[in-house]
Structure 1
Amino acid sequence: MNDKMKLKQFFPMLAFASLALAGCGGSVSKTGIELSNLDQKAKPGDNFYQYACGGWIKAHPLTGEYSTYGNFEVLIENNNKQLRDLIEAMAKGQHEAGTLEQKIGDLYNIAMDSVKQNKEGYAPIQADLEAIAAIQDRKEIIAQMAKLGSKGLPGYFGFYIDADIKNSSMNLLQIGQGGLSLGEKEYYLDNDSATVHVRESFKAYMEKMFTLCGSTPEEAKRKMEAVMGIETRIAVPSYSAVQQRDPEANYHKMTYEELKKDYSGIDWDVFFSTMGIQGLKEVSVGQPEPIHEVEKILAETPVEDQKAFMEWKLINSSAPYLSDELRACSFDFYGRVMSGKQQDRPRWKKAVATVEGVLGEGLGEKYVEKYFPAAAKERMVKLVKNLQDALAERIKVQDWMSDETKKVALDKLASFYVKVGYPDKWRDYSGLEIKDDSYWANIVRSNEFDLAYVIDKKLNKPVDRDEWYMTPQTVNAYYNPTTNEICFPAGILQPPFFDMEADDAYNYGAIGVVIGHEMTHGFDDQGRQFDKNGNLTDWWAPGDAERFEARAKVMEDFFSNIEVLPGLKGNGALTLGENLADHGGLMVSYTAFQNAMKEKPLQTEDGFTPEQRFFLAYANLWAGNIRDEEIRVRTKSDPHSLGRWRVDGALPHIDAWYEAFGITEKDSMFVPKEKRVTIW
């Protein structure tokens, strides 16, 4: 909803999966492998994904609520039930005003009150609609856009405050492109039939929403055309998802005075002072071209058209928190058209998601108390150390990397800051007021609270290395290059990722690969550009980077040639970093697994060798079904490959997989050894 939050895409935090999820499950045997998940009629060398996951896929068909449903979504369901139990216990009780329990419980009750939301209609945004309508002069536009921005509403551009990638110990305010309701520029510019359908549906959606919020059909059509014209203008010079992956190309640091001079078409003093930002010294403009285009829009586009744009951002952002009619209209476009979903989530799931979004770390504190065993953290810390040792071992044997670069790489690896489970210090929510006025008013106060929190904590201040970028209940993990940290929240330390009851073959194939994946991000095409202190700098000896890039190009080309739908190829450039991390995660974790078996040998169980179980555990993480519409969305925007190809695209480059399953040149997945990726 909030462009300032969306702008974190420019900050190169590298996560394991495209979704931030949470949950738990149960193991089925000491191996952790559920045989019914397999389809043993399939040939491992022709379609390993089907072989490892076919039984699971058949047993879990898509329901109307989902555009994709896999093991991640199973964990979402389990996690939602856990969180719902925690939240509803607080929602039913009486709590002292201002306590965390009162805020969690009251916000959930407010989100669940459909009668009140339907009675209010769009009244909660009426005052802001009137403020936009009252604009008479072009000079008022940026001030009003900033007022809306402080409430969490997107505008022509966004900003965030986080580590300066060339001075990583200090935070820097960073300005970036924004304004696109469809997210990616291609939706405005491509002319294939699927994209045109999305674009035309978007126009119809805008007209309907304007009408539902008081415009006549004629006014709605005019406003829609104005918004489409502005967003298309911004889309043309906007950076693509691939371009945004280049840290150097998205960094243009300057003094605040230089900003005002070089981008004089925007009244920055008014914009930032309205946002509550004072004493700004330096900034970085991530994508200069679209920001220069915004200057032209502010100067050239009729005031009425720009008012329509602001009105649209208000309506579109607030719709999920208003009446059922507005929320259903929003779902029809973003859910049905863009993702292929057939029905919206039940209200309680949306209410849980709201509590997580507003009070995520507070809820996480309650979650950890109830669901996270200390033994899991202890075992995880040991696994991380084993994987660090294995990656060091892998680095030392690479013949394409010079001794000079190896030395620095090993130093960087040894300097990893490891976070497991939950933060040492919990966030203070005492300044956030939750009260029973309107659902939307509480969302606005939350956005204002978050903005003030970021300004107070980060503006012109050193980086806090203890900050967490995911809540403890998240089933995901990340590597952050500017702090050289790897983080594994409590939520991921559960089956099928991590099973305290399963053997090493399973856990190294699952959570071990996750750990290795995040570690490898420190040395992938993005992460390798940052030193051990988190600064963007070239620490590679002459020739090593070129040898790395040549090997990475093999991976890029391989994934670009995968046909994900008839006539639609994968985007190997966009997914390169994640594919390299999967490759490294597999190689490193397999090495650690072999090391562990020297001390604790494993036997064949359930008809599978330990090596086979390692790869089955990995593949099963990605079991799932997905709609064609969602495949198209992710191919345009997601830096992670689709689940199927994180298996069938990754494993053909792993020699040990060939050995484990006896894969030969007669198998369709076979890749000649000289054409396989050889990096880690």
Structure 2
Amino acid sequence: MRIFLLAAVSAAAISGAAFAAEKPMYGAWGVDLTARDVAVKPGDDFNKYANGAWEKKTTIPADQASAGVGYDVYNRSQDQLRTLIETADASTPIGALYKSFTDEAKVEQVDDAPLKADLAKLAAVSSKAELAKALGAAHGGFGPDLFSLDIYPDAKNPELNTLYIGQSGLGLPDRDYYLTDGFKPQLAAYTAFAERALKMAGYADPAKSAADVIAFETAIAKVSWAVADRRDIDKVYNPVTMDELKAYAPEVPWADYLAAAGVTGRSQVVLGEKSAVRDIAKLFADTPLETLKAWQTVQGVLEMSPYLSKRFVDSRFDYIKVLSGQTQLRPRWKRGVQLVDGSLGELVGQAYVAKYFPPSSKAQMVDLIANLKTAMAERIQKAPWMAPATKQAALAKLSKMSVMVGYPDKWRDYSGLKLDVTDLYGNVRRSGAFEWAYTLGDLGKPVDHGKWGMTPQTVNAYNGGLENKIVFPAGILQAPYFDPAADPAVNYGAIGAVIGHEISHGFDDQGRKIDDTGKLRDWWTAEDAKRFEAQAAVLGGQYGTYEPVPGMKINPALTMGENIADLAGLQVAYDAYHAALKGKPAPVVGGMTGDQRFFLAFAQSWQDKSRDDSLKQQMASDPHSPSNFRVIGPTRNVDAWYAAFGVKPGDKFYLPPEKRSRIW
């Protein structure tokens, strides 16, 4: 899945035209040639060759963690959403929610009154049994939980939704922030925030209580699973009966806890990070009640601060900016658009696609995806390491992989959500409860494959592994990723590689464990798996040497699936591009061959400049490699790239043919 780190955004001007222009948005044929640094040899750093001049002249806006085409497209989409949201009448859900957020005078007048009501309920908790119910009620309610509750298809019975219980409880992005010296500034900033939050909540000794909270969260971090282990589907699928759960982690009154979350009548659940669930339950029992309540207070204040008065907003930002490197809070309208987008996503999405997503783009994307699926099928058929029976199973999975483009066929109904233009805090709380009830409505029911995990305006795409489907929202179908007026080589190199990436997730180190029905099942021979893992190890060995931030290298165990998909996506897109030429040579355009345009478009689709703190956060918790190595890493393993740019031995990133990864 392609992920853009959008912790902060900034505005960009957009044209008034809603649909496709007659000429490409970038350059004469779809690529910005002025972004290149032609003084850099492609084989020494293809990212700098493609994007170096842009990087030199670009300053990251103060309210963003990074800059680049991902942000550009996101910002463009946010401006488009702004035109829809700001003009919505206050009597509509969109208008009521947005206007409740932008009415700063009202928010300042209310100050922390609604927060005090929630904190008073927490203060009244007098036992661990009551607190367990408060933890369960936090889903769709106020405050944090020590456990995650998610409803997904059952990996062994993928036509039915079940409940997954996993680890949670941390206020920092990942366990490493508590346990490694490299994140000491971030831990210090969080500790300072905890003390401020407790002081605002009226604690008599906020410094001591904050220290207790940090010690408690550090204990959680020590028993939590590393993020690389959490992406292993075999490890995180641990079905247990309710009786087994009660025996395995007896410190939590599970029936009461789940009932408070709205979950009743379950005979079985699935544990994710199994040992962590057990050990966090022990911490719940061993930690003083007052420390647990202080922890809930800190995280409750952290969660609700964006919807309170300026003193809360500023206190939270003083912490958040140390994580991202931002120096300036985003303008209020941007935060308001994000709130509406996150709370009423498909309602906003209906208006968005009607105005900004032409039917012709959807039709063109459907054709592109079909071409990419054909190219992937040919790659599977030619894979020398895959046994014939496994190839047939892989081809069956590919043929059954459903494709969704632009927007869902059926829109969500938000009529049950009541919003008040004068009550921002209440609107956020009601929206959270509404969303949890919507999610909970799927529990124990057949999977609705028409539901989307992203809104249409999302600048992203995903592979729904347990449903064997790939989804491409309208938001990502914009230049430079997809431009109907661009040269075909550009669209294949940019959005084509994204399509190939998502298709290939069905066959990466985790996707290969899921069959054509979405069921967790080992359908490869032992020899297939051994040969696949050998080639994956070659790729992992390369990525383990990359150092995006001084002193911090990429973790190939964490990023393996995405690295494989990046490489496979590029290869499949290249094959599909050449198939589309139907045996004819690609024209030379602007002095560049078709292959050069293809690879250049791919590289510019990852154009990015990030702050070091943001990169550190990504590398600790995100399964995607930093953008510059999403350019360098795949291309140096593709033979055609060497021929296109004359890359030779002696160039920094040259790899001899025998050392290139040959997964697909």
Same fold (TM over 0.5): yes
SS in 2 for 1:573: helix
Q: TM-score, normalized by length of structure 2?
A: 0.96
Q: Say whether 1:317 aligns with 2:303.
A: yes
Instruction: Give the structure 2 partner of residue 362 of structure 1.
Output: 347
Structure 2 unaligned spans of 5+: 16-23
Residue among 18, 30, 33 paired with 2:31? 33
Structure 1: how far apart are the matches of 2:33 and 2:316?
A: 41
Instruction: Give the structure 1 partner of residue 56 of structure 2.
Output: 58
Instruction: Give the structure 1 partner of residue 479 of structure 2.
Output: 495
Contact 1:340/1:628 (8 A) holds in 2: yes
Superposition pairs of residues 220-619 of structure 1, within 5 angstroms:
220-334=206-320, 336-456=321-441, 458-598=442-582, 601-619=585-603
* Alpha-carbon shift at residue 660 of structure 1 (Å): 0.4
Instruction: Give the structure 1 partner of residue 202 of structure 2.
Output: 214
Structure 1: how far apart are the matches of 2:422 and 2:246?
A: 40
* Alpha-carbon shift at residue 29 of structure 1 (Å): 4.6
Structure 2: how far apart are the matches of 1:295 and 1:617?
A: 50
Alignment deviations for residues 85-142 of structure 1 (CA, whole Å, 9 cap, x no partner): 001111xx364xxxxxx11001000111111222222211111111111222232211
Superposition pairs of residues 140-219 of structure 1, within 5 angstroms:
140-151=130-141, 153-190=143-180, 192=181, 194-216=182-204, 219=205
* Alpha-carbon shift at residue 213 of structure 1 (Å): 2.9
* Alpha-carbon shift at residue 601 of structure 1 (Å): 4.2
Structure 2: how far apart are the matches of 1:19 and 1:62?
A: 13
Contact 1:29/1:502 (8 A) holds in 2: no
Contact 1:30/1:501 (8 A) holds in 2: no
Structure 1: how far apart are the matches of 2:260 and 2:170?
A: 23
Contact 2:642/2:648 (8 A) holds in 1: yes
Contact 1:340/1:627 (8 A) holds in 2: yes
* Alpha-carbon shift at residue 320 of structure 1 (Å): 1.0
State the percentage of identical aligned residues.
41
Q: Which amino acid aligns with 1:468?
A: W
* Alpha-carbon shift at residue 273 of structure 1 (Å): 1.5
Q: TM-score, normalized by length of structure 1?
A: 0.93
Structure 2: how far apart are the matches of 1:94 and 1:558?
A: 55
Structure 2: how far apart are the matches of 1:442 and 1:644?
A: 40
Contact 2:154/2:160 (8 A) holds in 1: yes
Instruction: Give the structure 2 partner of residue 69 of structure 1.
Output: 67
Instruction: Give the structure 2 partner of residue 8 of structure 1.
Output: none
Structure 1: how far apart are the matches of 2:583 and 2:84?
A: 42
**After TM superposition, which residue ranges in structure 1, 4 or more long, deviate above 3 angstroms?**
14-26
Residue among 604, 610, 621 paired with 1:637? 621
Query: Which moved further from structure 2: 234-243 or 17-26?
Result: 17-26
CA 1:616–1:382: 2 relative to 1, 3 Å: same
Structure 2: how far apart are the matches of 1:135 and 1:167?
A: 39
* Alpha-carbon shift at residue 600 of structure 1 (Å): 5.8
* Alpha-carbon shift at residue 509 of structure 1 (Å): 0.4
Residue among 90, 95, 105 paired with 1:105? 95
Structure 1: how far apart are the matches of 2:336 and 2:421?
A: 15
Structure 1: how far apart are the matches of 2:285 and 2:209?
A: 19
* Alpha-carbon shift at residue 17 of structure 1 (Å): 4.7
Q: Which amino acid aligns with 1:611?
A: D
* Alpha-carbon shift at residue 211 of structure 1 (Å): 1.5
Query: Which moved further from structure 2: 474-483 or 276-285?
Result: 276-285
Residue among 634, 637, 653 paired with 2:637? 653
Q: Which amino acid aligns with 1:159?
A: L
Q: Which amino acid aligns with 1:274?
A: A
Instruction: Give the structure 2 partner of residue 98 of structure 1.
Output: none
Structure 1: how far apart are the matches of 2:41 and 2:223?
A: 47
Structure 1: how far apart are the matches of 2:637 and 2:231?
A: 24
Alignment deviations for residues 254-305 of structure 1 (CA, whole Å, 9 cap, x no partner): 2223222322211112112212222222201111222222322232211111
Q: Which amino acid aligns with 1:36?
A: T
Structure 1 unaligned spans of 5+: 1-13, 96-101
Contact 1:46/1:667 (8 A) holds in 2: yes
Q: Which amino acid aligns with 2:47?
A: Y
* Alpha-carbon shift at residue 547 of structure 1 (Å): 0.4
Contact 1:122/1:213 (8 A) holds in 2: no
Query: Which moved further from structure 2: 345-354 or 496-505?
Result: 496-505
Q: Say whether 1:675 aligns with 2:659.
A: yes
Q: Which amino acid aligns with 1:305?
A: T
Structure 2: how far apart are the matches of 1:544 and 1:64?
A: 49
Instruction: Give the structure 1 partner of residue 20 of structure 2.
Output: none
* Alpha-carbon shift at residue 19 of structure 1 (Å): 5.4
Aligned residues: 653
